[in-house]
């Protein structure tokens, strides 16, 4: 069993590859559904949040701690989908939220610009120049979005286990390579890797629960022991510290709660 995350640019056949992989392996396939869950938590219509993701992160700036809240809600929604394995996720920075989980196969699908342009021309019935402009605008928006939220360029190949160019290699070929790779011993779920994702799920539940109280709180979980990384200012407020401890202790799966100054907490990647 494995979790497969597929990152792709627009009109690069990445969606088709993801769906083909899920079909062959009998896995569930997620993408837009995760954005929908996050939009519910933000109380933003899905279409507006999707537009923000593709155009610019400006919509999040309308909210206090908008970036922190979006990441927390999105991670919680995504981890809820991925917790049980046998999942293909293609969409926004899935690999970013699963660092430290060894049974995740991280894939990037790329395609030649001329093929992407032809795809847009065929689908949208527009000129070569218009199609080229649309793709360049979309690529730039995705880079800005990922750098704004995560401080990284999601097109960087070093972030992935596999980078597949769809050209000579067809969608079917790409799916076959991914399916074969996912079956390797390296990407099989182990007790340790399952615990790692369960820790991430618990940490995300704690984070979203504490969002309204302290949106920028850092949360780390290991085997039910939850550590909250708080600023020096928070540490000077005993009532707030006790309230965070009380709320966190009531969350199912939490065995112990520690609160430390954020600079003293070692965060795993």
The phi and psi torsions of 251 (rounded to 5 degrees) equal -80, 130
CA distance 148 to 96: 13
pLDDT of residue 225: 96
Q: Which domains does the chain have, with CATH numbers?
A: 3-187 (3.40.50.300), 191-264 (3.30.1340.30)
Token pair 């809600």: residue: 73
pLDDT of residue 267: 45
- Spatial strand order of the sheet with 28-30 comes to 28-30, 87-90, 3-8, 104-111, 162-166
Among the listed residues 78, 108, 92, the one whose alpha carbon sits nearest the alpha carbon of residue 148: 92
CA distance 201 to 10: 29
Side-chain half-sphere exposure of 40, counting CA atoms within 13 A: 7
What's 27's DSSP letter? -
CA distance 140 to 125: 22
pLDDT of residue 196: 92
Among the listed residues 251, 95, 107, the one whose alpha carbon sits nearest the alpha carbon of residue 179: 107
**Burial environment of residue 80 by CB neighbours within 10 A (0 to 12, 13 to 18, 19 or more):** middle
pLDDT of residue 23: 97
Among the listed residues 185, 183, 208, 189, the one whose alpha carbon sits nearest the alpha carbon of residue 79: 208
Among the listed residues 100, 68, 71, the one whose alpha carbon sits nearest the alpha carbon of residue 3: 100
SS (H, E, C) 131-176: HHHHHHHHHHHHHHHHHHHHCCCCCCHHHCCEEEEECCECHHHHHH
Across the 269 residues of the chain, what is the mean pLDDT of every consecutive 10-residue run?
A: 88 94 95 72 64 58 71 84 87 80 94 93 94 90 78 86 93 97 94 92 93 87 92 79 93 93 52
pLDDT of residue 268: 45
Assigned token pair, 123? 């689908």
């Amino acid at each position: 069993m494995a979790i497969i995350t597929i990152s792709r640019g627009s009109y690069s056949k990445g969606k088709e590859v993801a769906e083909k992989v899920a079909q062959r392996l009998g896995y569930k396939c997620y993408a837009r559904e995760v954005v929908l869950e996050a939009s519910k938590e933000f109380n933003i219509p899905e279409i507006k949040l999707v537009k923000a993701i593709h155009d610019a992160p400006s919509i999040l700036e309308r909210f206090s701690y908008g970036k922190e809240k979006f990441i927390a809600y999105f991670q919680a929604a995504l981890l809820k989908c991925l917790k049980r394995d046998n999942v293909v996720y293609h969409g926004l920075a899935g690999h970013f939220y699963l660092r430290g989980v060894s049974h995740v196969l991280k894939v990037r699908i790329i395609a030649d610009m001329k093929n992407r342009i032809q795809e847009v021309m065929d689908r949208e019935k527009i000129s070569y120049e218009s199609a080229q402009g649309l793709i360049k605008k979309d690529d730039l928006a995705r880079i800005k979005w990922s750098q704004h939220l995560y401080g990284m360029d999601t097109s960087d190949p070093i972030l992935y286990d596999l980078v597949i160019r769809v050209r000579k290699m067809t969608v079917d070929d790409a799916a076959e390579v991914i399916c074969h790779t996912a079956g390797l011993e390296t990407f099989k779920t182990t007790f340790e890797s399952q615990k790692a994702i369960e820790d991430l799920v618990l940490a995300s539940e704690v984070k979203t629960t504490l969002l309204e109280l302290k949106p920028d709180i850092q949360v780390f979980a290991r085997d039910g022991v939850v550590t909250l990384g708080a600023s020096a200012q928070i540490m000077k407020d005993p009532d707030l510290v006790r309230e965070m401890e009380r709320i966190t202790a009531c969350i199912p799966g939490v065995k112990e709660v520690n609160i430390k100054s954020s600079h003293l907490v070692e965060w795993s990647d």
